[in-house]
Structure 1
Amino acid sequence: MNNILGRAVSGNVTDENDKSYFVQVDGITFLLDKSEIINPLHIGSKFSGFAYENEDHKMQMTRNAPKVQIDKFAFGQVVQSKHGLGVFVNIGLPNKDIAVSIDDLPELTKLWPKYGDYLMIALKVDKKGRIWGELADEQVFQDISTPGSRDLMNHNLMATTYRLKMAGTRVITDDYHLGFIHPSERDIEPNLGKHVQVRVIGILRDGSLNLSMKPRGYEAIDGDSKMIFAVLKHADNYQVNYTDKSKPEDIKQFFGISKGQFKRAIGHLLKGRLVEQSDGILKLTEKGIETEVED
C-alpha cells in the first residue's frame, strides 16, 4: 500500500457503475470518478492516475494528479487548523485535504499557518497507510532557489515564510530568491506560511537577500511629522532651534501647529531614528539626511 498511495500509478479497469470505474492496482481496488473521463473506458483497459484515500476513507484515483506527491514538493494552501492535530492543506484533490502534523509545526499555536497561507510540502505515508504532508526542509528550498542580483537592492518583493527561528525568519520570494528577516527588521513575528511584503536591504555573496518588513523612513511618517521632516531637509545644517521644550507660541508661529501636535510629530521621527534633539536644537540624524521624502 505504501508504494501506491500518493503516487501516479497504473492499473486495470475491472468494473464500473453509473458514477465510477473500478481500477485495480496490485490487488487493491480504487474508485475513478466517471466525470473525469472524456472517452469511455472498457473493462480490462489500462488506466494511469494518482492514488489516494479520500475523506470518506475510500481508495480513489484521479487523472488530475496534484503537483504535491511522494518526494515531489510544491506549495499548497492552508484551509483549516485543528487543535491537537495540525493544519490541513489543499493540494488540488477533489475530496481530500492533506494534514500536516502538529509535530512539524511551531510550538506556539499563534505562529501556526492561518487560512489562506501557503506551505511547501510533499506527501508521506505512515505505517497505517495514512497520507500526511511533509514540510520542505532547508535543502529543498536551496535546490529550488535562484540567486538574487544587485539590482534588487531597495526593491519591494513578496515572499512566503518557511522557517521560524529565534535568530529570525527565513523566506522564499515569489521569484524563488532565499531571504532572511532579522527580528529588528519586523514589528511582529509573521506566522509560518504567511505571504508578506518585504524590502531588500542587502544582498549576500551567495545571492541570498537580507530583508526588512519595516517601511522606509518616508513611508513611516505622514502629516505633521512629514512637514517637520521636510522643514529640516531644507534648513541650514539640517537643524532648527525648536524642540519639545520650546514655548507653545513659538512652535505655533514657526510650524503652524500646537505644541501637542509638535511633540507627537517629533515623537514619530525620534522613534524612526530620523531626528535627534539636544541643547534646544532639533536636527536630522545621518539616517534622516539619507532618507528621501516622496511628495
Structure 2
Amino acid sequence: MGNRHLRMGQYNRLKIIKRLDFGVYLDGYDDEILMPTQYVPADVEIGDFVDVFIYRDSEDRAIATTLEPYGTVGEFAYLEVTATNSMGVFMNWGLPKDLLVPFKQQRDNMIVGKSYLVFIHLDTKTDRIVASAKIEHFLDEDTSELSEGMEVELLPFEYTDMGIKALINQRNLGVIYRDQVFKNIELGKPTAGFIKKIREDQKVDLALVEQSYNRIEGSKNEVFEKLQAAQGFLPFTDKSEPTLIYRTFGMSKKDFKKAIGGLLKEGKILLKEDGIHQVVS
C-alpha cells in the first residue's frame, strides 16, 4: 500500500481503521483521514472499505464524505457563484465548503447568483481544490476521437449570438447553432446531441437529438431490414464501435441499442455473443 496515494478532490476507496465519538478515521495511506459522524454509513465496521470523496475543510484538513459534489478534480462543472471576497469568488459544488475561483482564474467579472462553466483542478502550490473559469486552457483541441454523426453528451453552458456553446463529452468545445435549437435548453443540464460537422479549423458544429417515438420505430425498421438482407445475421453487439454502427445503420449507438432492445422484446431477434440473429418462426 506504500506506493498508493490519496487522490485529493476525487473518490477514493479507503479502509476504516478507528471509530471515535465524532466519526471514523480512514487509512489515507500517508495519513489518517477523518469522516465525520454525519457521513458515516449506518452499517459499517472497522476493517470495512468505504467509497468517499476527499476534500479540504475550512481549516485545510483532509476530510472524507459520502456526499457527492457536482464535479470532481479533472472535470468541468456548471456551478453557481454564492459569495465573493478578496481571494476570489466561491461556488456551490454540493459540499459544506464552497469551491474557490481565484481572481486570476476568472474570465469575466463573475457575479453572485449567476452560474458559469468552470474546470476543477488542484492548485499545485497549495494542494487545494480550486476552479478556473478560463476553460480554454483545459479543453482538448484534438477532435480525432469525434466523427460526424456520432452521438455525444453535451453540457450547454453559454448563450452567444450564434447559438449555445456546449461542452462535448467533458473534453471538447462545440456550438449548437440557433437554427438547431428546437427545444428549451437548460444551461448546465446534460443533454444528448450529435456531431453535425467538424470544420477544417477543428471547430465543431452540434445538433440536438430529438428523442421521439417515431425515430426509434424508424431505427428498429432499419436494423430489421438490414438483418433480413444479410440472411438473418449481423455481427453487431452492444459492444460494437459507435462509428461502425453509424456507418452501417446511419444511427447513433444509443438509438441502435434502443432498436435492438425493441426487436428483442417483440421476439424478432436473438442476441448472441457473435451478434444479432433473426428469429425464424
TM-score of the pair, normalised by structure 2: 0.49
Query: Computing the radius of gyration over CA atoms, which structure comes out larger, 1 or 2?
Result: 1
- Between Structure 1 and Structure 2, the one with more helix by share is 1
